[in-house]
Amino acid sequence: MFMKEKINNFIIGLYLNKHHSLISNNEYYKIKLRVYSCLEKKTKMYVLNNAILTLKDWIQINNNKLISKSNLEKKSIINFYKNLAVNICLRDEVKYLNDFDTIWRNPNKLPLNVYDFLKTKQQEVLINNGISYSNDFKYLFYHLKDFSYKIDIDRNTLNNKKRLNFKSNLEISLSFYDITVNFLNKFEEFLNSIPNKKIYPYIKRNKEISLGSISKYIRALRVCFNEIIYKNKLLNSSVYPFSRKIGDGGYRIKTYTNSKSNVLSDNDLRLLLSYDTKNKRYKRAHDFWVFSFYAKGMNMNDIARLKWKDIDEINGKKFFTFYRGIKRSENQPKIKVNISNLMWFIINRNRGNEKYLFNIINDLNPKKNEIEKYKNKESRFCNKYLKFIQNELGIFQNEQLMMSTARHTATFTALKGGLNPLDIGKHLGNIDNRSIYSYTKSLIQIPGRTEDDDMQQMLLDKSKKIVRDKNGNLVIIDI
């Protein structure tokens, strides 16, 4: 016997099959893997076809002394099968011998390394969808590495106490088979806590990850599973860990249960819209938040890309049109935004070059990745100073005020005003209206109007009246 170890519900061992020598040479023997199920009290045997040894080789490898070069190669083959068997036994979905047998007979599926796939996916998304979305895969990669490092330390500490030879190495090779419902639950707990620096010194993270970010990362992981299973057909759908319907035992991605926590109350909104400051940085962040709110929740990605050629005029009324995001779809609606006096004031105060509406993208012919860098820099700038404005006004106590809050608040305001969710979906440029319906859980829907400017008019009505103060700044007052 070469080795014998108990792994979870199994005892595995490798044996020299001395009872059946090879016909061509009586001195050589095949190696057998014996897997015993403690739950079923049954055994399965597997012949390792590409591992043949003499009795002398077998003794030399077992003693681990003065091993010849040829036997070192044979030992590496035996270790490969040993680690493969241990890895299968450690999987959460492997409870019985049939579970072990299914994966053992399909070893080509095991080397699917999650890290390699994430790197490839990140580059693909960067080209097609931009930096923001690709960052979800990038940060998921690092968080999975940290979590796997933690698992390796925990497992290896436990194995040492039990005097097991197996060394966990998920930080290097994490398979899609390793990501089970239990893995995802533990991963979520890990992200939602601060790692112990004494036990896990190589984990640099020193704060908890927000629920919104956790949801983004796990959705990115779900995208990888869908591609591996349904597009690349490299995994069986039975290993899909995510929930397809309520109560099926799969992992359900967590979201905020109360959509109102993402939107400003009427009083907070009025305070923010009427905010005035001499600080140029605060003023710029405030301008873009207000512009986003009145432009039907337009995000910074689209604000940065607005061009003068997007502006048109009918009957003396100016407006601009755009498609949400940089990815185009044949079903994607074009969004129309009427330009109010307040919006013109914000445009002129933050006027860009002869090509771009705003002074966010400074180059006339930037590359795609350069546009992303400009946009991301401006988003970080605005979110930083919106936090200071939030603290100064004492508003929105439960969440951090961000540029994305403008979109949530615009949507919620239109819903409360009675606009139909499907119409709001068109205003926002959504192809799939599931995100719209998530805002309506606590609202009674009232049939609304469907003209192009309905949503924007509802938002403008919130401002009552806009006037300039003695410093030339815009101030909102009640009529």
**pLDDT digit string, tens, across residues 461-472:** 554 444 555 555
At residue 187 the predicted structure's pLDDT band, cuts being 50, 70 and 90, is very high
**127-134: long-range pairs with CB below 8 Å, 24+:** 128/327, 129/325, 129/326, 129/327, 130/301, 130/326, 130/368, 130/372, 131/369, 131/372, 131/373, 131/376, 132/301, 132/372, 132/376
Mean pLDDT of the chain: 78
C-alpha to C-alpha distance for 333 and 88, rounded to whole angstroms: 48
Structural tokens at position 360: 């966010």
User: What pLDDT, on the 0 to 100 scale, is given for residue 146?
Assistant: 95
C-alpha to C-alpha distance for 324 and 303, rounded to whole angstroms: 10
**pLDDT digit string, tens, across residues 319-367:** 998 877 555 555 567 788 899 989 999 999 999 999 999 999 988 888 8
User: What pLDDT, on the 0 to 100 scale, is given for residue 170?
Assistant: 85
**pLDDT digit string, tens, across residues 230-257:** 777 666 677 789 987 777 788 988 765 5
C-alpha to C-alpha distance for 214 and 211, rounded to whole angstroms: 5
Which of 54-58, 60-64, 186-190 shows the lowest per-residue confidence on average (mean pLDDT)?
Answer: 60-64
| Residues of the chain above pLDDT 90, percent | 25
Mean of pLDDT values over 261-290: 88
Mean of pLDDT values over 171-197: 89
Q: Is the pLDDT of residue 437 over 60?
A: no
- Please name the residues in contact with 156: beta carbons below 8 A apart, sequence gap of 6 or more: 167, 168
- Strands 317-322 and 335-338 turn out to be antiparallel
Nearest alpha carbon to residue 461 among 401, 419, 399:
419
Q: Comparing 454 with 425, which gets the higher pLDDT?
A: 425
3-state secondary structure the chain: CCEEEEECCEEEEEEEEEEEEECCEEEEEEEEEEEEECCCCEEEEEEEEEEEEEHHHHHHHHHCCCCCHHHHHHHHHHHHHHHHHHHHHCCCCCCCHHHHHHHHCCHHHCCCEHHHHHHHHHHHHHHHHCHHHHHHHHHHHHHHHHHHHHHHHHHHHHHHHCCCCCCCCCCCCCEHHHCCHHHHHHHHHHHCCCCCCCCCCCCCCCCCCCHHHHHHHHHHHHHHHHHHHHHCCCCCHHHCCECCCCCCCCECCCCCCCHHHHCCCHHHHHHHHCCCCCCHHHHHHHHHHHHHHHCCCCCHHHHHHCEHHHEEEECCEEEEEECCCCCCCCCCCCEEEECCHHHHHHHHHCECCCCECECCCCCCCCCHHHHHHHHHHHHHHHHHHHHHHHHHHCCCCCCCCCHHHHHHHHHHHHHHCCCCHHHHHHHHCCCCCHHHHHHHCCCCCCCCCCCCCHHHHHHHHCCCEEEECCCCCEEEECC
Q: Is the pLDDT of residue 66 over 70?
A: no
Q: Is the pLDDT of residue 71 over 60?
A: yes
**pLDDT digit string, tens, across residues 368-413:** 778 888 888 999 999 999 999 999 999 887 678 999 888 888 887 8
| Residues of the chain above pLDDT 70, percent | 74
C-alpha to C-alpha distance for 3 and 178, rounded to whole angstroms: 24
User: What pLDDT, on the 0 to 100 scale, is given for residue 327?
Assistant: 52
**pLDDT digit string, tens, across residues 118-162:** 988 888 887 766 666 788 899 999 999 999 999 999 888 887 776
**pLDDT digit string, tens, across residues 319-330:** 998 877 555 555
User: What pLDDT, on the 0 to 100 scale, is given for residue 260?
Assistant: 42
Backbone angles phi, psi at 11, to 5 degrees: -120, 125
